[in-house]
Chains A and B, each alone.
Chain A
Amino acid sequence: MKRGDIPLKISELKKSIKEFWNEYKNYKSGIVGLVLLIILASVAAGASLITSVEDYNNWYNPTYWRENPVDAPPVWVNFFTSKKLPVHQVEFVSVEDFKYVEGEPTEGLRTYSVNISYEFKYDVEPSDIIIRILGAVAEGKNASITITVIRPDGHRINVYKAVSTFPELVGNYSAKTVSFSRTSKASSAIIKWASQFESEENIREVSGYPPHGDWVIRVLFSKAEVGILVGEAELLRGEYQFSISVTFFDEESMLYGAKLIIAGSVYGWMGTDSLGRDLFVGIVWGCRLALIIGVLTSVISTFVGVFYGVLSAYKGGLVDELMQRIYEIVASMPLFPILLILSWKFGATVWNLALLMALFWWTGPVKTVRSMALQIKEETYVEAAKAMGAGTWRIVTKYIIGQIIPYAFAIMALNVPGAILTEAGISFLLGGRGTREPTWGRILHDAAAAGATLKGLWWWVILPGVMITITGLTFVLIGSALDKILNPMLKR
Chain B
Amino acid sequence: MGYGKYVLFRIVNLIIVLGIVTLMTAAIFDSAMTQILEAQINEMVQNDLIQYIESMKASGKTPTQEELREYEKSRIELYRKRYGLDKPFWIRILYRVRDVMTFNLGEATSPQISFAGSREVKTIILGYLPNTVFLFTTGTLITILIGLLIGLQIAKRVGSFVDRLVSILAMVSNSLPMWWTGLLLIFLFAFQLRIFPAGGLHTIPPPEDKLLYIIDFLWHLTLPLLTIVLVSFGGWAYIIRNLVIGTLQQDFVMAARAKGIPERKVLYGHVLRAVSPSIVTMSILSIVNSLWGAMITEGIFNWPGIGRLYWVALETNDMAIIIGLTYVFTLIWLVALIIIDLLYGLLDPRVKVGIGTTSS
Assess A461 versus B184: contact at CB under 8 Å? Given A456-B192, A472-B175: yes
Chain A residues near B13 (CB-CB < 8 A): 325, 328
Write out, one digit per residue, whether chain B residues 251-288 have a CB within 8 A of any chain A CB (1) or not (0): 00000000000000000000000000000000000000
Could you show 7 A-B contacts with beta carbons less than 8 Å apart?
Answer: A328-B17, A332-B17, A332-B334, A420-B175, A458-B187, A465-B180, A469-B172
Pairwise interchain contact B175-A336, C-beta atoms closer than 8 A: no
Known: A334-B330, A345-B36, A425-B179. 4 other contacts (CB 8 A): A453-B198, A461-B180, A468-B175, A469-B180
B299 closest partner in A (C-beta): A429
Q: A465-B183, A468-B180 are in contact. Are A340 and B314 (CB under 8 A)?
A: yes
Given the known interface contacts A325-B16, A329-B17, the answer about A425 and B175 at a Cβ–Cβ threshold of 8 Å is: no
In the complex, the chain A residue whose C-beta lies closest to that of B34 is: A345
Task: Give the docked Cα–Cα distance between A458 and B183 (Å).
Answer: 10
Contacts of B24 in A (CB 8 A): 329, 333
- Indicate if B296 sits at the interface (CB-CB under 8 A): yes
> Is B174 touching A345 in the complex (CB atoms < 8 A)?
no
Q: If A461-B184, A465-B184 touch, does A338 touch B25 (CB 8 Å cutoff)?
A: yes
- B326 in the interface, Cβ–Cβ < 8 Å? yes
In the complex, what residue of chain A is closest to B297 when comparing beta carbons? Answer: A425
**Contact residues on A (Cβ < 8 Å of other chain), bracket:** 35 or more
What residues of B have a CB within 8 angstroms of the CB of A329 in the complex? 17, 20-21, 24
- B223 within 8 Å of A (CB atoms): no
Q: Type the 1/0 row for A447-468, where 1 means its CB is closer than 8 Å to any CB of B.
A: 0100001101010011001001
In the complex, what residues of B have CB within 8 A of residue A400's CB?
none
The answer for the CA separation of A334 and B296 in the assembled complex, in Å, is 15
Decide if B35 is an interface residue (CB 8 Å cutoff): yes
On whether the beta carbons of A417 and B184 are closer than 8 Å, the reply is: no
Please classify the interface of chain B as helix (H, G, I), strand (E, B), loop, or mixed, using the class held by over half of its residues: helix
Residue-by-residue, is A326-367 near B (CB-CB < 8 Å gives 1, otherwise 0)? 001100111011101110110000000000000000000000
Query: Is B149 interfacial (CB-CB < 8 Å)?
Result: no
Cross-chain contact B21 with A332 (CB below 8 angstroms): yes
List B contacts of A29 (CB < 8 A): 171
Residue pair B33, A341 in contact (C-beta under 8 Å): yes
Judge whether B3 is part of the interface by a CB distance below 8 angstroms: no
List the B residue with the shortest CB-CB distance to A424. B177
Chain B residues proximal to chain A, CB less than 8 Å: 13, 16-18, 20-21, 24-25, 28-29, 32-33, 35-36, 171-172, 174-177, 179-181, 183-184, 186-187, 190-192, 198, 295-296, 299-300, 310-311, 314, 322, 325-326, 329-330, 333-334
**Bound: A340/B21 CA distance, A:** 17
How far apart are the CA atoms of A162 and B261 in the complex, in Å? 97
A residues near B (Cβ < 8 Å) are 29, 325, 328-329, 332-334, 336-338, 340-342, 344-345, 417, 420-421, 424-425, 428-429, 444, 448, 453-454, 456, 458, 461-462, 465, 468-469, 471-473, 475-477, 480
- Residues from chain A with Cβ under 8 Å of B180 in the complex: 424, 444, 461, 465, 468-469
A429 to B296, CA, bound (A): 7
Q: Are B296 and A428 in contact (CB under 8 A)?
A: yes
Pick from B25, B36, B171, B177: contact of A334, CB under 8 Å: B25
Pick from A336, A344, A444, A468: contact of B295, CB under 8 Å: A336
Which of these, A341, A465, A468, contacts B29 with CB under 8 Å?
Answer: A341
The answer to whether A461 and B17 touch across the interface, beta carbons within 8 angstroms, is no
Q: How far is the CB of B37 from chain A (nearest CB, A)?
A: 12
Closest A residue to B242 by CB, please name it.
A490
Q: Is the CB of B191 within 8 A of A453?
A: yes
B175, A341: Cβ atoms closer than 8 Å? no
Known: A453-B187, A453-B191. A421 touches B33 (CB 8 A): no
Q: How far is the CB of B30 from chain A (nearest CB, A)?
A: 10
Q: Let me know if B191 and A454 touch, CB within 8 A.
A: yes
Determine which of B28, B296, B322 lies in contact with A425 in the assembled complex, contact meaning CB atoms within 8 Å.
Answer: B296
Q: List 6 A-B pairs, minimum CB-CB distance, nearest first.
A: A472-B175, A465-B180, A417-B175, A453-B187, A345-B32, A476-B171
Chain B residues closer than 8 Å to A333, beta-carbon distance? 21, 24-25
Q: Please, which residues of chain B bring their CB within 8 A of the CB of A337? A: 295, 310, 314, 322, 326
A64 to chain B, nearest CB (A): 27
A473–B235 alpha-carbon span in the complex (Å): 13
C-alpha gap A417/B334 in the complex (Å): 26
CB <8 Å contact, B175 and A345: no
Cβ contact within 8 Å between A417 and B174: yes
Which residues of the partner chain B approach A453 to less than 8 Å between Cβ atoms? Answer: 183, 186-187, 190-191, 198
B183 to A444, Cβ gap below 8 A? yes
Is the pair A476, B175 in contact by a Cβ cutoff of 8 Å? yes
**Once the chains are docked, how many angstroms separate the CA of A34 from the CA of B25?**
39
Residues from chain A with Cβ under 8 Å of B35 in the complex: 345
Q: How far apart sit A61 and B205, CA to CA, in the bound complex (Å)? A: 42
Chain A residues, CB < 8 A from B311: 429
What's the minimum C-beta distance from B20 to chain A, rounded to whole angstroms? 5
A462 and B299 in contact, given A333-B25, A340-B314, A345-B32 (Cβ under 8 angstroms): no
Contact of A429 among B18, B198, B295, B329 (CB under 8 A): B295
In the complex formed, the residue of B with least CB distance to A429 is B296
Please tell me which one of the listed residues A341, A420, A448 contacts residue B32 in the complex, with CB atoms under 8 A apart. Answer: A341
Q: What is the bound-complex CA distance between A425 and B314, given in angstroms?
A: 15
CA A29 to CA B333, docked complex, whole Å? 35
B77: min CB distance to chain A, Å: 26
Residues of A within 8 A of B179 (CB): 425, 428
A448 lies within 8 A of B25 (CB): no
A477 & B171 in contact (Cβ 8 Å cutoff): yes
Chain A residues in 8 Å Cβ range of B28? 338, 341-342
- A344/B25 in contact, CB under 8 A: no
Min CB distance B170 to A, Å, is 9
Contact of A341 among B295, B300, B314 (CB under 8 A): B314
What are the residues of chain A within 8 A of B184 when measuring CB–CB?
461-462, 465
Q: What is the distance, in angstroms, from A344's C-beta to the closest C-beta of chain B?
A: 7
Query: A336 CA to B294 CA in the complex, in Å?
Result: 10
A464 to chain B, nearest CB (A): 8
Residues on B with beta carbons closer than 8 Å to the beta carbon of A334:
25, 325-326, 329-330
Contacts of A342 in B (CB 8 A): 28, 32
Whole-angstrom distance between the Cβ of B29 and the nearest chain A Cβ: 6
CA distance A186 to B322 in the complex (A): 62
Please name the residue on chain B nearest to A333 by beta carbon. Answer: B21
Q: When the two chains form the complex, which single residue of A328, A454, A469 contacts B175, counting CB atoms closer than 8 Å?
A: A469
Shortest CB–CB separation between residue B336 and chain A, in angstroms?
11
Contacting residues, chain A, for B334 (C-beta < 8 A): 332
A458 to B184, CA, bound (A): 8
B186 smallest CB distance to A (angstroms) = 5
Contacts of B18 in A (CB 8 A): 332
Q: What is the minimal beta-carbon distance from B309 to any residue of chain A, in angstroms?
A: 11
Q: How far is the CA of A417 from the CA of B171 in the complex (A)?
A: 10
Contact for A325 among B17, B192, B198, B325, CB less than 8 A: B17
Name the CB-closest residue of A to B333: A332
- What is the minimal beta-carbon distance from B332 to any residue of chain A, in angstroms? 11
- CB of A205 to closest CB in B, whole Å: 38
> A417 vs B173: C-alpha distance in the bound complex, in angstroms?
11
Measured in the bound complex, the distance between the Cα atoms of B312 and A429 in whole Å is 11
Chain B residues with Cβ under 8 A from A420's Cβ? 175
Contact assessment for B192 and A473 in the assembled complex, using a CB-CB cutoff below 8 Å: no
Residues from chain B with Cβ under 8 Å of A456 in the complex: 187, 191-192
In the complex the two chains form, is B322's CB within 8 Å of A465's CB? Answer: no
Name the residue of chain B whose CB is nearest to the CB of A422.
Answer: B177
Q: How far is the CB of A237 from chain B (nearest CB, A)?
A: 32
In the complex, which residues of chain B have a beta carbon less than 8 angstroms from the beta carbon of A417? 174-175
Contact A473 B295 (CB under 8 A): no
A contact residues around B322 at 8 Å (CB): 337
CB distance from B292 to the nearest CB of A (A): 8
